[in-house]
Structure 1
Amino acid sequence: MMNDPVPLLHDYLVQSARCKGAKIALVCDGHRVTYDQLETWSNAVAHHLVTAGIERGDRVMIFADNTVEAAVSFWASLKANAVACLINPLTRPDKLSYLLRDCQPTALITQSRLHATFCEPARHCLSLRRVIVSGTISEIDLNALPHAVRWSAATADEHDTAPARRCIDIDLAAIIYTSGSTGEPKGVMLTHRNMMTACTSVASYLDVREDEIILNALPLAFDYGLYQMIMAVRAGARLVLERSFAFPAEVLRHVAEERVTGFPGVPTMFSTLLQLESLKDYDLSSIRYLTSTGAALPVGHLRQLRDIFPGARIYSMYGLTECKRCTYLPPEDLDRKPSSVGIAIPNTEMWIVDECDQRVGPGVVGQLVIRGATVMKGYWRKPEATAKKLKPGPLPGEQVLYTGDHCRMDADGYLYFVSRSDEVIKSRGEKVAPKEVESALLDIPGIREAAVIGVPDDLLGHALKAFVVLDQGRSIGPKQIQRECQKRLESFMVPKYVVVAAELPRTDTGKINKRELTAGSLMIG
C-alpha cells in the first residue's frame, strides 16, 4: 500500500467515520446506524470475505432489499478489493440464474426472504466461495447452499481497519446491470474513478451538505438509488433508506418525521405522490431540493410540485447507467426551458452527431455523445456491445460514449431528449419519437401518465398506440384524446389507438414497462 494512496470510493466512508463517528448515517426499517457502526460492520464483512478467498477484482453479488445489510455489504465489497454487483430484489429466478452465470461472483450476499428465488440459482453457481444470508433461515436451507454462513457469522469479528488495500482508482468498483428491456441485461463496468467523478459532479450542482437528510425510496440496485447513499456518505450526511415507494403515504410520514431535506424520484413517483388526497396532512417544509430523472417532468406536474414544495429547488435531470448522469436543468431555468433536460453536468462535455458521425448545429436531432471521466469502462464480457458504445474521441487515445439516444440542442447549449434509438417508430413512412407524442398527451388536462408504442399495421407499417392514465375523478374518452392530439401534433403523429387504463405496468426501477405493453398488444392483436 502506498504511503499516500489516491482515494478510492470507500474512503468516503472511512473519512466520514473518522470525523463524524457518532453521527447517524443511516435510518432504515426502524434502525438508526451511526457512521462508526457502518464502518465497523463493513470492516468485519470485508475481512470475512477476504478470509473466504475473495480476491482483488472478484465480484460480490448483493441480492437484497434496501436494508442495513445491503448498505453494509456494498462498502464491505469495496473494502475487500472486490467489485460490488447489486441486483434488484424483484429479479425472477431465471434472470438471476443468467446474472450469476454472466457475473461469475465469488460471493453472494442475500437475505432469507428471497430464499425461494436464489436457492436453486445459487446451488448451481460454481464460482461461489461464500454465501452470506441475513434474516431467519433454517439449518437445512443454509447447508443446502454453497459455503453458506449466517450474517451474524460474517459480522462476528470486529476490526478497526479494512483489509489491506490492493486496488487503484482505475480498478472496477461496481458492475450495474441494465434493465434488459431490449434483450439480455448488460453489466456496466464502473471504476472507482468513474463513480467518484460522478458523485463529485452531481453533489456539486445539488450542493449536498453535511446537514442533509436524503430520503431514498429507489432500489440500491438502480444507479440513481445507489448514488444517493454514496453522496450522503461522502458529505457525512444522513440517508433515510426506504424499501420502496409502494406505500407513498408511509414514505411521506418518514419525510415529515425525519425532516428530510433531499427527495430524489422519477416522474412516475411524483405522479403518484400528486394524486394522494392525504398529501396536505404532512409537513414537507423541510425539503430543500427535489430531483427527477428519466425524462423531463411534465409542465403540469412541475407546477403542482412547486405548489407543494414552495421552498424547494427542483432539478430535472437526464442520464444513463453507462455514464451515470449527462445533464441537469438548473432550477432557475425551469420557467424558460421547462421541456429541456438541461446542460452538461460539471466536468463533462456533450455534443450531437448525425448518421455520418458529423457534429450538427442547434435544433438538429442526432445521437448524443458524452465525453468525461464518468464514462463506463465497458460492458462486462461483451466486447462487441462495448465497441458499439465506446468509440474514439476527438483527442488521441481517448474513448467517448455514443449514448444511442436521439436528442437536440438549442442555441444556448440546452439539451432536449427526443427518444431512445430503439424506440423510434416508423409510421406512414415517417419516423416518430414516442416521447414527443407522450409530451403532447401529458399536455392534455386530465391526463396523468402516458406511454406510446408502435403496433404492426398492414397499411401504415406501424400504427401508434397510446396508453393513458387519467387524474382521479376525470373522464376523457379515446376520441376526445385523439381530437386534442390533432390540435398539438402533425397528423402522422396522432395515435390510431388510445387505451384509457387504470394503471401502467412498471419495470423494477419504477419506469413504465413498454415491453409489457407491446407484448400485451401483440397477444390481443
Structure 2
Amino acid sequence: MRVETLLRNTAAANPGRIAVTAEETRLSYGVLDDKSDRLASALLARGVRRGDRVVVFMENIWEMTVAVFAVLKAGAVLCPVNPSLKADGLRFVLGDCRPSAILTQAKYARLCEEAGRDVPVSLITVVARGAVAIPGVLAFDDCVAEEPDGLPEAGTGDDLAMIIYTSGSTGNAKGVMMTHANIVAASGSIAAYLENSADDVILGILPLSFTYGLYQLLVAVRVGARLVLQKNFAFPHAVLAAARAEGITGLPLVPTMAAMILSMKDVEPLPTLRYITNAAAALPTAHVAGLTELFPQACLYLMYGLTECARATFLPPEEVDQRPDSVGKAIPGTEVLVVDETGRSLPAGTVGELVVRGPHVMQGYWENPASTGAVLRPGPKPGERWLHTGDLFRTDAAGFLYFVGRKDDIVKVGGEKIALSQVEAALHACRGVVAAVVVGVPDPVLGMALRAVAVVSDPTLTERDVLRHCAGILPESMVPKSVEFRAELPLTASGKVSRRLVTEAGEKE
C-alpha cells in the first residue's frame, strides 16, 4: 500500500468528516483529497516527475497537510523541513536532496530564494498565504484552484516516499529514506497500540516537519480521526483552551511541553482527553506523576522513537504506575534488543545499545552509504538487518526497557562513567525544578565534572538546596559539582533541550 491510499480510502468512505482544523479553517476528508489532487496535478504540469524530491517548508498550517499528500500523489518524494531552519541549514538540505520544487509560505519566500541560489536544479516555488515579488513564483491558491489533469499511475509500496532530515546535532543533518511501505507499517503499528479510531480528535502541536508531529497527521488520516493544528506551544493557556473547545482526545507532547503544563496554575481539565503520549526524549518520573494527577482519566503512553524508525517502543498505560521510568517494549510488529559491541544480546540489568528491526526501519541515509552502513548492520541470522540506535538501554527481568543515555552523553568523572540522563532525572524530582540539563566541564582533579543547568519555578531555591537533594538520592560521583540557574534552556527545533547549545553558552561565559 502507498501512503496516499490512506487518504483516498478514508475520503471515499467518509468525505464529509472533518480531517483538519486549523484556526478558522476546517477541511473535510473529501476536500483534503480534492485539494491535494489539484496541487499534485499542478506540480506535474510544471515539470515535477516521479522520484523527484519536493521540499515542504511550512508551519503547522492546513496548506501543509494538502502539500504532504500532493507530493506523494505526484509520485514525488516528500522532504519536510522545519521552517525555523536558517539560511545555511536550508541551503544544505536543498543542496543535498536537490529538489525540483519547494512549497512554502510567503514569509519564507525570500529565505528559500536565497538558500536555493546555488542548488544545481531549477526550483519550482509554490507560495501559500500571500504574494511575493519574485518572478516565476506560483501561488498555492491558484494551484489548488486548477482542475486536476490526470495523476500518474500509482507505484508500489517499495517506492521512496520521504526523505526526512535528522537534527544534525552531531554534524551535518542526514536524510532518512522512508518508503511508502515503511510509513504505512509505522502508522499502522502506532494506531494499533494507541487504539486510534475515527472518534479521536488529536492535537497537532508538534511540527509536521518532524517525525513525531508528521505521524499525528498520518495516523489521523489512516483511521479517519480529526487533527487540530496549532503552530506552537508558546501560549499554552490558549492552546489548551483551543484543545478543550475542540474536544481533543489525544495529546502528544514532549518533556518541555509537560514541564510548561505542570508549571501552570489553575489548569482546567480536558474532559474528553483519552490519552497522552510522550516521545522525543525521556519524560522525567516527576512529570509522569504530575500528568497522571492532572489528567487522571487519560492513559499515558511513554514511548521511545527516532527519525530512523519513527517509533520503537511503548509502555502500556497499565504499567505506568509500576514502571514510570520505563519506555516499555517493542511496538507491534517489530523487534528490539539490547546488545553489546559485538551485537550479542545482553541479559537483564546490563547496559548496552538498543537495536531495532521491523518493516518501519528506514532504507538508509540519502546518498550516504558510509553512515548507512554504520547503523544498519546484519544480525545473527541470515538476511536480518538491525538499526543500531546509538542509545544505551537496559531491561528488567520482565523485559521492559529503560533508557540510560546516548552513547555520546556518557561522561567519565574521576574514571567512572556517568550517564547524564540519570542525573537529570534526579534533578527533575527536585521540588521547584521545572527543567534541567547536565553537562560535563573540564576539571583539573577529576578530568571532567558535572554542571547542572536548571530552570526553576521557586525563586527561593538555592544551589545548595539542589545539591543536597541530589546527594540524597544519587551516588557521590553523580552529584553535580555546581548548579547554574537560567530563565530558560535552549531547545532544538523539535522541542528537545539542546545539550550542545547549553555547553556552548557555558564556554562563552
Common fold, TM-score beyond 0.5? Answer: yes
Quote the sequence identity (%).
43
Deviation at 1:474, TM superposition (A): 4.9
Preserved CA contact (<8 Å) 2:109 2:127: no
1:186-215 C-alpha deviation (Å, 9 max, x unpaired): 111111111111101011010001111111
Equivalent-residue separation in structure 1 for 2:368 and 2:124 (angstroms): 26
Distance in 1, matches of 2:488 and 2:238, equals 21
Structure 2: which amino acid aligns with 1:522?
E
Does the 8 Å CA contact 1:455/1:522 hold for their aligned counterparts?
A: no
**111-120 or 236-245, larger mean C-alpha shift:** 111-120
Return the alpha-carbon distance in structure 1 between the equivalents of residues 199 and 45 of structure 2. Answer: 37
Amino acid at match of 1:17: A
Change in CA separation of 1:450 and 1:162 when aligned onto 2, cut-off 3 Å: farther
Greater Cα shift, 391-400 or 411-420:
391-400
Q: How does 1:145-184 map to 2 (within 5 A)?
A: 147-159=136-148, 163-184=151-172
Q: Does the residue aligned with 1:515 lie in a helix, a strand or coil? A: helix
> What is the 5 A alignment of 1:71-470?
71-138=65-132, 141-143=133-135, 147-159=136-148, 163-280=151-268, 283-470=269-456
Ranges in structure 1 where 5+ consecutive residues have no aligned partner? 1-6
Query: Does the CA contact (< 8 Å) of 1:287 and 1:312 recur in 2?
Result: yes
Whole-Å Cα distance in 1 between the matches of residues 412 and 292 of structure 2?
A: 37
Distance 2:302 2:490 in 1: 23
Letter matched to residue 272 of structure 1: M
Query: What is the letter of the counterpart of residue 225 of structure 1?
Result: G
Contact 2:178 2:363 in 1 (8 A): yes
The Cα shift of 1:119 comes to 2.2
CA offsets 1:41-93 (integer angstroms, 9 cap, x no match)? 10011111111221221111000111111110000000001110111110001
Unpaired stretches in structure 2, ≥5 consecutive residues: none
The DSSP-based 3-state class of the residue aligned with 2:409 is coil
Deviation at residue 397 of structure 1 after TM alignment: 2.3
C-alpha deviation, 1:304, in angstroms:
2.1
Q: 2:488 aligned with 1:503, yes or no? A: yes
Q: Quick check: 2:285–2:425 contact (8 Å CA) kept in 1? A: no
Correspondence 1:37 to 2:22: no
Tell me if 1:488 matches 2:473. Answer: yes
Measure the CA separation in 2 of the matches of 1:426 and 1:481: 22
CA contact (8 A) 2:38 2:144 kept: yes
- In structure 1, distance between residues paired with 2:155 and 2:450: 51
1:58 equivalent in structure 2? 52
Q: How high is the TM-score relative to the length of structure 2? A: 0.97
Partner of 1:3: none
**2:5 alignment partner, one of 2, 11, 19:** 11
Amino acid in the other structure paired with 1:29: E
Residue type at the aligned position of 2:451:
K
The answer to whether the 8 Å contact 1:108/1:128 transfers is no
2 CA distance for matches of 1:164 and 1:136?
30
Q: Secondary structure at the match of 1:196?
A: helix
TM-score by length of 1: 0.94
- Whole-angstrom CA distance in 1 between matches of 2:153 and 2:265: 52
CA deviation string 1:493-524 (max 9, x = no partner): 11112112221111111110111101011122
Query: Is the partner of 2:99 in helix, strand or coil?
Result: coil
Alpha-carbon distance in 2 for matches of 1:152, 1:336? 52
Q: 1:162 to 1:233 in 2, by over 3 A?
A: farther
- Distance change in 2, residues 1:513/1:277 (3 Å): same
- Equivalent AA in structure 2 for residue 497 of structure 1: S
Count of residue pairs the alignment pairs up: 509
In structure 1, what is the Cα distance between the partners aligned to 2:3 and 2:356? Answer: 23
Letter in 2 for 1:271: A
For the residues of structure 1 that align with 2:116 and 2:369, how far apart are their CA atoms? 26
2:458 to 473, 493, 509: 473
State the shift of 1:278 in Å.
4.2
Counterpart code for 1:449: A
Residue pair 1:90, 1:508 contacting (<8 A) in 2 also: yes
Q: Is contact 1:80-1:162 (8 Å) kept?
A: no
CA displacement at 1:426 relative to structure 2: 1.6
Q: Could you report, residue by residue, the CA deviation over 1:319-342 in whole angstroms, capped at 9, with x for unpaired residues?
A: 111111111010100111111111
The 2-side partners of 1:300 and 1:490 are apart by 19
CA drift of 1:479 comes to 2.1
Give SS of 2:95's match.
helix
Verify the 8 A CA contact 2:163 2:175 in the aligned structure 1.
yes
What is the distance in 1 between the residues matched to 2:362 and 2:113?
A: 32
Shift of 1:440: 1.2
Task: Give the match's secondary structure for 1:46.
Answer: helix
C-alpha contact (below 8 Å) 2:157/2:180 kept by paired residues:
yes
| Structure 2 residue identity aligned to 1:208 | N
Secondary structure of the residue aligned to 2:21 is: strand
**Distance (Å, rounded) in 2 between the aligned partners of 1:67 and 1:204:** 27
The residue identity in structure 1 corresponding to 2:91 is: S
Shift of 1:235: 0.6
Q: CA deviation at 1:273?
A: 1.1
- Structure 2 distance, partners of 1:335, 1:309, is 14
SS of the aligned residue for 1:484 comes to helix
Q: In structure 1, the residue corresponding to 2:464 is in which secondary structure?
A: helix
CA distance in 1, matches of 2:429, 2:262: 16
- Residue 22 of structure 1 aligns with an amino acid whose one-letter code is G
Return the offset for 1:131: 0.9
| Residue deviations 1:287-311 (CA, integer Å, cap 9, x gap) | 0000011334222222221222121
1:4 is matched with: none
The answer on whether the counterparts of 2:166 and 2:175 sit within 8 Å (CA) in structure 1 is yes
Displacement after TM superposition at 1:352 (Å): 1.1
